Amino acid sequence: MSTRTTPTTSPFAWFHSLGAKGKRAFAGAFGGFGLDAYDFQVLPLSLFAITAYFGISQAQAGLLNTVTLVVSALGGAIAGVLADRIGRVRTLMITVITYAVFTVACGFATSYEMLMVFRALQGLGFGGEWAAGAILVAEYCKPQYRGRTVAFIQSSWAVGWGLSVVVYTVVFSFLPPDTAWRVLFWTGAIPAVLIFYVRRNVEDAPAVEEKRAASSRKGSFKAIFRGPLGHTTFFASVLATGVQGGYYTLAGWVPTYLRTERDLSVVNTGGYLALLISGAFAGYVTGGYLTDRLGRKRTFTLFAALSAVLIVLFTQIPDGANGLLLLVTFPLGFATSAIFSGFGSFLAELYPTDLRGTGQGFTYNFGRAGGALFPTAVGFLAAGMGVGGAMIFGAIAYGIAVLALLGLPETKGVELR
């Protein structure tokens, strides 16, 4: 008797269940979101050099992250509508080329104001990519695998983040900071290559595409605020605000915190970030399996609590205890990333096919705009509390996320409408 594991019982049964078209869609969305992360992270990694180059304050530096996130909310909302009106794949291509072009443009900025404008325009594509890619893959998934499948798309964020840290370490080790930050932005052209793959190989899920094309209300903002969907949209937006407020506090300020308050070199900072990112990848994947086993709401609650505790521990470790800081880094990356694993499946399940892009694009990216207030607050509070002290503010965001779950239903195992 053969003992070989069959596709239906293997740990990667979720991938086999996608079929040929679904696997190509998975590859396109995975690459798009990973490179989205790469282009986003080049700013936080360069922030200390940009601050010195333009002679700006920490509050002004934090505003660069805030502008990106606020404008990304607009980009995500627009992309959500486009995904419902012109399709998921076409929208995916538009968002990728947008964030690639304007990331490169940031490297040519000659003033703080010019950099802010280019970074804001980059946010349009950055905000829209996730909505289009996550919906595209969710619509190919079987219900029992949807959480972990879309979570693997989410895990590509850690891959892109890790790639950006590797490139950052190399570039800043061999070039002076005034040149290195520009070169790092110019490497943001890499995602444009993905467009060729997506255009040739990826298409919308056929059965879902028929329903989307036949609907008369597709892409309607009014519809997601009417009746029961209005209640859902409100609480899903608050949930996204809390989770992303905590995360972007961490992602936006950890590199600066390590360089300025922990006195770490470029290479040592890269080492800590590598551990944080390894934890993030493990968190995305693990969180995906848990969201299918425990349910969406329990998984959000579990990792919100862990994230709040760990962000406080990370920022309050005494000076000189960098070994202890190292021990907390992996769990911190794990928890603050695992909480995102349920978003793609949860938001897709909350909305019907003809409004899925609009609902998911709006709520997730409203959360980015609202969450952007948290790293901004850190920038202003850092003058009196230090960056580490001010980062505790991010823990409050996770409490907001837990409260929002009280207004949302459990959707584990449901068929997409």
pLDDT tens by residue, 115-135: 999 999 998 888 788 778 888
The percent of residues above 70 in pLDDT, for the chain, comes to 90
Q: Is the residue at 417 inside a domain? A: no
Q: Is the residue at 220 inside a domain? A: no
Could you tell me the residue range of the domain that residue 37 belongs to? Answer: 19-193+226-407
> Which pLDDT score is estimated for 157?
84
Q: What is the dihedral of CA 325, 326, 327, 332, to 10 degrees?
A: 80
Q: Is the residue at 122 inside a domain? A: yes
Q: Is the residue at 214 inside a domain? A: no
Q: Is the residue at 2 inside a domain? A: no
198: nearest Cα among 384, 359, 27: 27
User: Which domain CATH number covers 155?
Assistant: 1.20.1250.20
CA distance linking residue 259 with residue 262, whole number of Å: 6
Q: Is the residue at 6 inside a domain? A: no
How many domains is the chain partitioned into structurally? Answer: 1
Q: Is the residue at 348 inside a domain? A: yes
Count other Cβ atoms within 10 Å, centred on residue 132: 30
Distances (CA, A) of 11 to 4, 156, 168, 212, 337: 13, 18, 34, 32, 21
Q: Is the residue at 279 inside a domain? A: yes
> Which pLDDT score is estimated for 155?
86
Q: What sign for the dihedral angle of Cα 404, 408, 410, 415?
A: negative
**Average pLDDT in the chain:** 84
Q: For the full predicted model, state whether its pTM sits above 0.85.
A: no
Q: Which pLDDT band, with edges at 50, 70 and 90, does 44 fall under? A: confident
